[in-house]
Structure 1
C-alpha cells in the first residue's frame, strides 16, 4: 500500500502492542521529511482506514533482509516493540549494516 506513493521504493509494516509501525525506503531523489511521513499516514487513512495508520514511520536506506531475500520481519517487530535484545545474528542478514541503521533511525510519530 505504501509503495503506491511516488516517493516510496519499498516498505514493510509490522504490528506491535501500540499499533502499526512502518519501515520505509524512500525512492531515489525523494526528500525524507516529516511532511512525507504525514503524507504516508494520510494515504493509509484514506485508503484503508484510521485503525491502520502507522504509529511511527522510520526511513531507512534498505529493509533488513535475510540472505534468502525475504524481509526480516521478526527484527522489525522487535524494534517496533522497543525490544532491542536478542535481535539475532547480524551475519544472517544479507547486509548486516542495515541493522545498525535500523537501531539508530528515529521514528516519526
Structure 2
C-alpha cells in the first residue's frame, strides 16, 4: 500500500503487541524526511484506516532478504518489538550488511 507513494521504492509492515511498524526504502530520487513519514502515515490513514497507521517508520537503504529473495519479516518483527536477541545467522541473509543498518536506523515515534 505504501509502495503506491511516489517516494517509496519498497516497504514492509509488521505487527507487534504495540501496533504496526513500517520499514521503508525510499525511491532513488527521494530523501527520507519527517514530511515523507507524515505523508505515508496520512496515506495509510486515508486508504486503510486509523488502526493501520504505523507506530514507527524506519527508513532503510534495503529491506533484509533471505537468499531466496523473500523479505525476512521475522527479523523485522523482532526489531520492531525491541527484541534484538537471537535475530538469527546474518549469513542466511542475501546482504548481511542490511542487518547492521537495520539495528542502527532510528525508529520514529
Fold shared per TM-score above 0.5: yes
Per the alignment, residue 85 of structure 1 pairs with: 85
Deviations along 1:3-42, one digit per CA (max 9) or x if unpaired, are 0000000000000111000000000010110110011000
Per the alignment, residue 19 of structure 1 pairs with: 19
Per the alignment, residue 6 of structure 1 pairs with: 6
**CA RMSD, 1 decimal:** 0.4
Q: How far apart are the structure 2 equivalents of 1:63 and 1:77? A: 13
Alignment of 1:1-109 (within 5 A): 1-109=1-109
Q: How far apart are the structure 1 equivalents of 2:31 and 2:87? A: 30
Deviations along 1:49-89, one digit per CA (max 9) or x if unpaired, are 00000000000000000000000000000000000000000
Once the 2 structures are TM-superposed, how far is the Cα of residue 107 of structure 1 from its aligned partner?
0.9
Q: How far apart are the structure 1 equivalents of 2:18 and 2:38? A: 18
Question: Which stretches in structure 2 are left out of the alignment for 5+ residues?
Answer: none
Question: Which stretches in structure 1 are left out of the alignment for 5+ residues?
Answer: none
Taking structure 2 as the reference length, what is the TM-score of the superposition? 0.99
Q: How far apart are the structure 2 equivalents of 1:82 and 1:16? A: 10
